[in-house]
Amino acid sequence: MSSSQTVFSAPAGSEWWRDAVIYQVYPRSFKDSNGDGMGDLGGVTEKLPYLKDLGVDAVWLSPFYLSPQHDAGYDVADYRTVDPRFGSLEDFDRMREEAHRLGLKIIVDLVPNHTSEDHEWFQAALAAGPGSPERERYMFREGTGENGELPPNNWKSLFGGAAWSRVPDGQWYLHLFDSSQPDLNWENPEVWEEFRAILRFWLDRGADGFRVDVAHGMIKADGLPDWDEQVHMVEGTDAAEDDDAAATRPTDVGSASTVDSGNDDAAALGPETVGVEQGDLAAGSAEGAAAPAADAEEAAPTKTMDTGPYFDQDGVHEIYRDWNRVLQEYPGERMLVVEAWVGPASRLARYVREDEAQQAFNFDFLVAGWHRDRMRDTIETSLRANAEVGAPCTWVLSNHDTVRHPSRYGLSSRTAYPNGIGAQDEQPHHDQGLRRARAAALVELSLPGSAYVYQGDELGLPEHTELPDDARQDPTFHRSLGAELGRDGARVPLPWSPVGEGLGFGPAPWLPQPESFAEITVDHQLGDPQSTLNLYRRALRLRHELGLGATGFAWHPLSEDEQGVLAYVLPRADGDVLVAANLGESAVGFEELSRGELLLASGQDAVVGDRLSVDSAVWLKL
């Protein structure tokens, strides 16, 4: 069946998270309220009215816990307090109270795969010695070799180098990321109980949900078998690669950029209309049990990503069943969204079955690039797989771990997904990248499900591609000895105003801002009706007015032709909406452009005469 024949029914359920637009705040780069060079919770509270006016529904905050900040807060020393750099628990309470007053939900980041080496548990484990209950909370093992001088296995860190470090008494501990981030032992019931308590701590303080970091981690294969490959956090396809080749094969199976191969088992479904009915799911076990529900895992789709013996293990799903039960103890439709780099789409959908998480990030959409066929196929397989489990899709273009999409879209390859862009690399074509990013926003914000906006997306912020090496702080850069530039270029503090220190962010920002940011500040864009910020504001207002995100979906025949147009219809009782984006090489005319009502266009020249311009998108009411 061709994709143009497929119709997806409007999703069931009315929970707020099913069609929410969720804004990611990276606190250290959002707004500095106390002049120390780092953003904080006070700065977030100050700018909540801006987010309300933007039109988002919820705010997800990257970690603000007590941390030595070796990995920008994803190395947590205490899950129940706020790092003084960001404020205090009282500051969190004030922020949450103001957000709820404005009608905004608050989502807290949760890091369950590992802690900081400064966490009291790990310090106790080092002091207690081999065989102690304290060490059983982590992945301590004896070494190999004649005298235990070699690591327990050959696993490699995602940040470069070995995944094991040795302590003075001779044992080794596992750290899939930095050596300062020891992996927890999720075979230990004490770890399960601790994270239930952490969830309840923040739920009691009014958190509306959690984003789960490395959600496909935690559980390791029995025996910790050797694995010769390496997973890279931000490595992607070579920018010089031929686009047609990139469109016909999955990217590096060991990378975060791997996309669905199209061999999704859901593609074999026969009915032309895909609804939201689902079969009975295996019941979760009682609280405290760590065994997977066997029946639910027996029919697991075959992986199209080789995630090795430490990611996407079947046992991880029982963790989400357990946490789902915790969330059900609280009113208000609390939610989990998981960061799981897995494939195919039907395997990712296992994380959002009825008794597990509510959402999973759709990274296949993020890495599809500015390529009509890849984007179309990703939308198709994502909607199909999630419909089978009754869960909403999510759509995201950038986050704190990726090169910002206006810069990716400005590279010579339509499907480039580099692991950072430096001064010696190909420099993005700014105007082309921004034009495509504006069109992509109209696609993302119209699709059924929930949309995620990374801070600065609404400004069209580019990657900082000229960061000096001595300014870089990402451990990926340092552990790889500069072979991987890392993620700092996407984490540069936001420009709020053309006047004031740090372009309104605050004095001496922790990462330097490029000179180009002075021309695209929030204040500058608010005064320009054609700015990217005002495009987002109009799109989000229309999304709410038209009920987009909660509609059905049907492909338009244009999505199958050779002109490179992505087009689909969103059925509505008082007039369907046609979304069309031209990812081709020339302007395209079609009947609806002349007879439909133009609701929104990605630029002033998106429609010229009766033709849709290249790298442009429109919403039309039919």
DSSP 8-class letter at 208: -
Q: Catalytic residue, from 193, 244, 329, 597: name it.
A: 329
Structure tokens that stand for 198 in this block = 């952490």
Interior angle at CA 106, CA 101 and CA 112, nearest 5 = 160
**CB contact burial 418-450 (16+ within 10 A = b; e otherwise):** bbbbbeeeeebeeebbbbbbbbbbbbbbbbbbb
Burial class (CB in 10 A: 0-12, 13-18, 19+), 286: exposed
Catalytic (active site) residue 32: no
Catalytic (active site) residue 244: no
Alpha helices in 302-422 (DSSP H): 316-327, 345-348, 363-366, 372-387, 405-408
Tokens 């956090």 belong to which residue? 233
Considering only CA atoms, which of 544, 526, 507, 579 is closest in space to residue 32?
A: 507
Q: How far is CA 370 from CA 243, 364, 435, 445, 561, in A?
A: 10, 13, 11, 16, 17
Considering only CA atoms, which of 393, 433, 440, 394 is closest in space to residue 416?
A: 433
Q: Catalytic residue, from 91, 213, 322, 388: name it.
A: 213
Q: How far is CA 335 from the centre of its chain?
A: 15
- Residue 405 Ramachandran class (φ > 0 left, ψ -120 to 50 alpha, else beta): alpha
**SS3 sequence, 545-599?**
HHCCCCCCEEECHHHHCCCCEEEEEECCCCCCEEEEEECCCCCEECHHHHHCEEE
**SS3 sequence, 101-141?**
HCCCEEEEEECCCECCCCCHHHHHHHHHCCCCCCHHHECEE
List residues with catalytic annotation: 213, 329
